[in-house]
Amino acid sequence: MAFPHLQQPSSLLADSINKPFAQRCQDLVKVFEDFPAKELHSIFPLLVESIFGSLDGVLVGWNLRCLQGRVNPIEYSIVMEFLDPGGPMMKLVYKLQAEDYKFDFPVSYLPGPVKASIQEHILPDSPLYHNKVQFPPTGGLGLNLALNPFEYYIFYFALSLITQKPLPVTLRVRTSDCAYFTLVDRYLSWFLPTEGSVPPPLSTSPGGASPSPAPRTPAMPFASYGLHHTSLLKRHISHQTSVNADPASQEIWRSETLLQVFVEMWLHHYSLELYQKMQSPHAKESFTPSEEHVLVVRLLLKHLHAFANSLKPEQVSPSTHSHATSPLEEFKRAAVPRFVQQKLYLFLQHCFGHWPLDASFRAVLEMWLSYLQPWRYASEKQAQSNESQPRTVSEKWAPFVQENLLVYTKLFVGFLNRALRTDLVSPKNALMVFRVAKVFAQPNLAEMIQKGEQLFLEPELVIPHRHHRLFTAPTVTGSFLSPWPPAVTDASFKVKSHVYSLEGQDCKYIPMFGPEVRTLVLRLAQLITQAKQTARSISDQYVESPPGRSFLSWLGFSPTDPNSCYPANDLDEMGQDSIRKTDEYLEKALEYLRQIFRLSEAQLAQLTLALGTTQDENGKKQLPDCIVGEDGLILTPLGRYQIINGLRKFEIEYQGDSELQPIRSYENASLVRALFRLSSAINRRFAGQMVALCSRDDFLGSFCRYHLIEPTLANRHLLSPVGRRQAASQARGPRLSLRFLGSYRTLFSFLLAFVMGSLLCIRPLPCTLLLVLGYLLYAMAMTLLTERGKLHQP
């Protein structure tokens, strides 16, 4: 009961906005306790929006996605206590729930397929939306859903992950440490418990308890999961008019609602029709998930596996349904196949086909691998977790593998196609290939996948008793009030139903262990071998040229060869440890692929030979993969991949006039141009004298030829994709080149010499004479060596 002297909740809410965060939460808790539901229901939508942000993303609310315990420990702890499943905010939800209030939620902010279906006046398959659509009156603004307080709260909470603007790239936020991620984990643990039952709603009134919702009646099999309806009632009571069951049978609707909202808001962005259109390269993306979104979905999948695998041993089999089976146990058995399977497959297919080819794909990869391995989250895994050898996948998981065959096989092919387009020399990309190969190489998993494919490819004609069946899509989100369908013991029929329900009756299935995929695996093995060699070449180059090489080269104390450098990648930034890790990942990945697809050592050896692994000069001079065509060499797809990823390249050298080559980064542009004009003037003025001097047969002639005649181009070769051909020798007369004086390295050397001379009390003029004398001695020695070398040439 409200007191006359108290302010209204709306004014108290407005006043608390300008107060410190801790004081604001304390005031809200007091408002929740002091006012009745009749006065609180009007501020509930504003309060939810102020916490989770607006649906259009303009208001960020409490910014739960950026709030981290390590950065803001006080605010973090206050938020976690306030929004906890047993905290003040959820008590307010239950307080309003007891009075049967409804709140409008705009359909326009629902995921694309759901919104399109409702706008076309077609009721979505999920019972989450049944009996909730509110059509606007004439002149109304739009469609709305009439949600109870719990649904309204969870809808906003789930959508805030998507509707809010992406986090800035400059903002370093670890998703697993943020308040939103932790709240998702708490809600899942509370409403989908692996032990015990769902805790009953807490009351905000002292000594009181919120009334439990009444059971759903058989006359309303698709009624909303709201206040007056429960779900997951046992089949034997579906004809009764009243139920005096345990609290779990009356409160399970909250667990069902939470899971359905999470799945609908996070996964249901692609319908089957849209998925089929996405097979075309011209299809336009309708929704692109973020890395944060994918990490939260992975958390959901891991918890769902733990939730489903917490079934008691005697209740695992569908044939053990009895009157003693609780609604929660039935929910555990049906949660993944009925709610998650189809939507997750379409979600993963979109990610595999549209995600950028960079290291951020690791989040999608780990989400996929988490779903593929429900045995990791089974209760018996702790007993064998200390074994060093990989644990054999038990045959009891064969039904899961068969009923999710496409998630194993078709997505594996999708990953192969991605891996063939990435730079496997990168440690992050090599790690992803290693992770996938390691998971699929678990003992007995490949055999179970192959068995599932055999069941799908089994000819229909050999099973006469199934000729009348139609492979229709199973109801993945049907009401739990409808009788349980009879157990389908025909494994082949179950696999075919799974594939056809997702891919359609006319789908063309590519077997994972068929010749087409085997060809892709062999191509990947080739690239792995090539990437290993490239990583080792970079490692050798790294050892030969320490990190300070570039600085020393700039000073002129070590040779530079721009044609010998590999394109930059993260190996260059991370050093020897990463190179060693890359080689280790690729080596193990190759071994795992050999185990999965039963590749022989001879096949791998042939691949190595076919790839041309005998590289000259430490792998730096080998040309990209080519074939001989009518006009010469033609790049193959493998050769293009090698060039794009820096694995191989054509050795391209400057073949023109050295005086006219582009100005380098280590040269002063103005000085080079001035020296070129000066040397050109000298060459024009004294051309005849230079020719006469260089024509002499004595030492002076040799000395002049060493300085004035450029080495002949006759021995140079042009390297191009068309082939090699000898360049025509271009005869040039003697000429003086002063370009070397425009190099920063030469200028720095002169400066260093003058500084050393000043330290030794040598004046600039004597120092210059000493430098000239030193150079003359060096040039005379080089002249003698050059002439002696010519005498020994054949």
Q: What is the DSSP letter of 660?
A: G
pLDDT in tens, 220-230: 332 333 333 33
Q: Which of 93, 94, 266, 81 is nearest to 186 (CA)?
A: 81
Determine the length of the chain. Answer: 794
**E strand intervals along 610-697:** 626-629, 632-635
Which range of 112-121, 258-267, 533-542 scores highest in mean pLDDT? It is 258-267
The per-residue DSSP string of 558-608 comes to S---GGGPPPP-HHHHH-HHHHHHHHHHHHHHHHHHHHHHT--HHHHHHHH
The one-letter code for the residue type at 154 is I
Q: Find the mean pLDDT for residues 2-11.
A: 56
The kind and range of the H/E element at 674 are: helix 669-685
Taking the C-alpha atoms of residue 222 and residue 129, their distance in angstroms, rounded to an integer, is 9
Q: What are the structure tokens assigned to 6, written together?
A: 């108290």
The one-letter code for the residue type at 128 is L
Radius of gyration of the chain (CA): 37
Please enumerate, as own/partner, the contacts of 620-625 that have beta carbons within 8 Å and a separation of 24 or more: 620/537, 620/564, 621/651, 622/648, 623/648, 623/650, 624/648, 624/649, 624/650
**Does residue 126 have a pLDDT over 70?**
yes
pLDDT in tens, 208-220: 444 444 333 333 3
pLDDT in tens, 564-619: 444 445 554 456 677 888 889 999 999 999 999 998 887 777 766 655 544 444 44
Q: What are the structure tokens assigned to 479, written together?
A: 């009401």
The per-residue DSSP string of 174-207 comes to -GGGBHHHHHHHHHHHHHS-SSS-PPPPPPSSTT
Which class for 106: exposed (0-12), middle (13-18), buried (19 or more C-beta within 10 A)? Answer: middle
The predicted structure's pLDDT at residue 484: 39
The predicted structure's pLDDT at residue 491: 83
Across 142-146, 628-632, 735-739, least confident range? 628-632
**What's the pTM?**
0.72
Q: What are the structure tokens assigned to 748, written together?
A: 């720095």
The one-letter code for the residue type at 75 is E
pLDDT in tens, 147-198: 999 999 999 999 999 988 777 666 677 888 899 999 999 999 999 998 888 8
Taking the C-alpha atoms of residue 332 and residue 329, their distance in angstroms, rounded to an integer, is 5
Cβ(644)–Cβ(668) below 8 Å: no
Contacts of 516 (CB under 8 A, 6+ apart): 510
Q: What percent of the chain clears pLDDT 90, i.e. is strictly above it? A: 34
User: What strands lie across the sheet with 133-134, from one edge to the other?
Assistant: 103-106, 144-147, 133-134
Taking the C-alpha atoms of residue 95 and residue 209, their distance in angstroms, rounded to an integer, is 9
Q: What are phi and psi of 145, to 5 degrees?
A: -105, 135
The torsion of the CA quartet 371, 374, 377, 381, rounded to 10 degrees, works out to -140
Q: What are the structure tokens assigned to 237, written together?
A: 């009571």
The per-residue DSSP string of 72-108 comes to -HHHHHHHHHHHSTTSHHHHHHHHHHTTT--EEEEGG
Cβ(591)–Cβ(515) below 8 Å: no
Q: What are phi and psi of 45, to 5 degrees?
A: -60, -40
pLDDT in tens, 353-387: 999 999 999 999 999 999 999 999 987 654 444 44
Contacts of 451 (CB under 8 A, 6+ apart): 398, 402
Cβ(225)–Cβ(151) below 8 Å: yes
Taking the C-alpha atoms of residue 186 and residue 173, their distance in angstroms, rounded to an integer, is 20
Angle formed at CA 187 by CA 185 and CA 188, multiple of 5 degrees: 65
As a 3-state breakdown, the chain gives helix, strand, coil percent values, each rounded to 5, of 55, 5, 40
Contacts of 188 (CB under 8 A, 6+ apart): 258, 299, 300, 303, 307
The predicted structure's pLDDT at residue 621: 53
pLDDT in tens, 491-549: 888 898 888 888 888 788 999 999 999 999 999 998 898 888 888 777 766 665 554 44
Q: Helix H segments across 687-763?
A: 687-694, 699-708, 744-759
The predicted structure's pLDDT at residue 122: 85
The predicted structure's pLDDT at residue 703: 86
